Structure 1
Amino acid sequence: MAIRETDTRQHILDAAQQVVVHSGYAATGLTEILKEAAVPKGSFYHHFSSKDAFGEALMKNYFQGYLATMDRIIADTSKSGAERTMAYWQWFYDVQTADECQGQCLVVKLAAEVSDLSEAMRLQLAEGTSQIMDRLEKLLTIALEDGSLSGDAVTTTPRELALSQYDAWLGASVMTKVQRTPDSLQRAMAGTRRLLKV
């Protein structure tokens, strides 16, 4: 029984993520979530005490998958640190240019919206993006240590470089959504390739 309940909870989160990434959090009603997940209202409230609790769980679930992808990229020792860093950015690019450049990233979709609506969701975003920075810093440190990223190319710490890169890519992602073309992300990719010399 516990396994089935866990599966139902996960199914609701997975189905709802697809709705929320297209419509936003505030615009997504419980009816839409229930319809997409094909579960009764009681199942939703069995797993989530409120929409706010659901939103917090949605963000936790999103970051679990995101960070697992980053961990797989980091663990691929067949590539240099710079190649692994570029593999991450290529994955990011692919996610953000999906659905006619509307993307699948909940950070880009929800950050401005939910940061004012829900402190619990804002804290999940802050924690999740901090963990992304930790992993990006690790990738850049590996690249510096294995020599695939020249120390001369980096005039700052790996953490500061990770922060500035992520900021640039998030901005490019927002502009990609606005313009509905990949141009901004292509510029971010070109700049990152120049920096990493790959």
Structure 2
Amino acid sequence: MNTQTKDTRSHILEVGRSLIARQGYVGVGLSELLKAADVPKGSFYHYFQSKEAYGCALLENFVAQYQESLADTLGNAEQPARDRFLGYFEGWLAKQIGPSLQDRCLVVKLSAEVADLSPDMSRILQDGVSSIISSLTETLEQGITDGSIAPLNDPYGLARAIYYQWLGASLVAGLSHDDAPLKATMEATKQAVPAP
């Protein structure tokens, strides 16, 4: 793929992510996306076979970028694992209540919307969620080893439960336009992952 092709494709994905973060996947029409990205319809179909293929590419891009960003939080070996684990969720809290809709988690925004719409998009989101839960599990296990987290019976089960709790709190916070559910979940997370 040459640089121009990659830049145009990336530009369409970036513009679409911003629109979808505000309006949802179904709420963004192709003509609106093309106008915002300032690309002709033929260029869109050069890179993406359909809107669903575009949605898949958008989610694959989001999941890949998200995985890379975990290196700054969960993967930062200079900090004790408990600090990394809690730092990940403190970052989630900051982004979900921050002013930039584009910084918010697309898993939260799109999971219910695409579940019945596209099996391929659902699979990409589910694979991303599974990967995040695996990373959280590894961090809990590292915390037990480095002594920053008290012994846990089931690190995977705890990581999964906490992640699901954050997804739910994010949805409720979005509905209520109130950050109280997220702040309560942050406190519950701290209690669920005790220091020794």
CA distance in 1, matches of 2:180, 2:86: 18
Q: 2:26 aligns to what SS in structure 1?
A: coil
| Partner of residue 112, structure 2 | 112
| Partner of residue 24, structure 1 | 24
Q: 1:117 aligns to what SS in structure 2?
A: coil
C-alpha deviation, 1:35, in angstroms = 2.1
Q: Which stretches in structure 2 are left out of the alignment for 5+ residues?
A: none
| Partner of residue 14, structure 2 | 14
C-alpha deviation, 1:53, in angstroms = 0.4
Please give the per-residue CA displacement for 1:91-119, whole angstroms capped at 9, x wherever unaligned.
11112112388972111111011010011
Q: TM-score scaled by structure 2?
A: 0.93
CA RMSD of aligned residues (A): 1.8
C-alpha deviation, 1:31, in angstroms = 1.5
Which of 180, 183, 186 matches 2:183?
186
**Which stretches of structure 1, 4 residues or more, deviate above 4 A after TM superposition?**
100-103
Q: 1:181 aligns to what SS in structure 2?
A: coil
* 1:161 correspondence with 2:165: no
Report the identity percentage.
Answer: 36
Q: TM-score scaled by structure 1?
A: 0.93
In the TM superposition, 1:116-135 aligns within 5 A as 116-135=116-135
Q: Which stretches in structure 1 are left out of the alignment for 5+ residues?
A: none
Residue pair 2:21, 2:101 contacting (<8 A) in 1 also: no
| Partner of residue 47, structure 1 | 47
C-alpha deviation, 1:43, in angstroms = 1.5
C-alpha deviation, 1:75, in angstroms = 2.8
| Partner of residue 2, structure 1 | 2
Q: Which amino acid aligns with 2:140?
A: L
Please give the per-residue CA displacement for 1:132-166, whole angstroms capped at 9, x wherever unaligned.
11111111111111110101xx3x31111110000
Q: Which amino acid aligns with 1:27?
A: G
| Partner of residue 192, structure 2 | 195
